[in-house]
A and B are shown apart, each in its own frame.
Chain A
């Protein structure tokens, strides 16, 4: 079993929809939770990170972490065609250690 499991998708939604992307994990030592976006044939880019439990909002994006359930989510409000990409969750136990990535969920937002 992988340390980080991500809903595989693919996910297709109409423009303006609210999107929910989810990951579960098994390592209770994880403290940092990140979401990366990867466009086709590009490297991942960091969207946002959260330390420990709680919510964090950045524009149309909201990250949630529930450590008690070992479950994290990324919500995208008012989704746009430009949000079409693969979204990767990643986790780390320290601010200097390695990050463990999920396998990504591919999202398509249709105009």
Chain B
């Protein structure tokens, strides 16, 4: 069974630039999550999708972050414009049940 795929693995941008991350979940997993993990901290949920719909985006900074999940499969997370404090690892996860999430390798973003 293929795992959760993410790309790119690394990205370096300057502040005020835009960036997009892509995630392909495990086949058949209806729920998809995007997390932000700052160095030394645990993953913080940004947005949770159930199929095409948003279940929870309460911690998504909507003035600069956006996410979509087309056709209930792949998802993209965008930041525009980026700030220095957005430097983090962005993790995508998918699951059938919330207590059994499968994570991708993450995208390490550095904003200079």
Measuring CB to CB, which residues of chain A are less than 8 angstroms from any residue of chain B? 4, 6, 32, 34, 36, 41-46, 49, 51, 88, 90, 92, 94-104
Contact = CB atoms under 8 A, between A and B. Distances in A.
A43 B4 contact: yes
Contacts of B100: 34, 46, 49
B42 A104 contact: yes
B78 to A, nearest CB: 20
B97 A99 contact: no
Contacts of A94: 98
Contacts of A99: 45, 98-99, 101
Contacts of B33: 98
A22 B31 CA distance: 28
B40 interface: yes
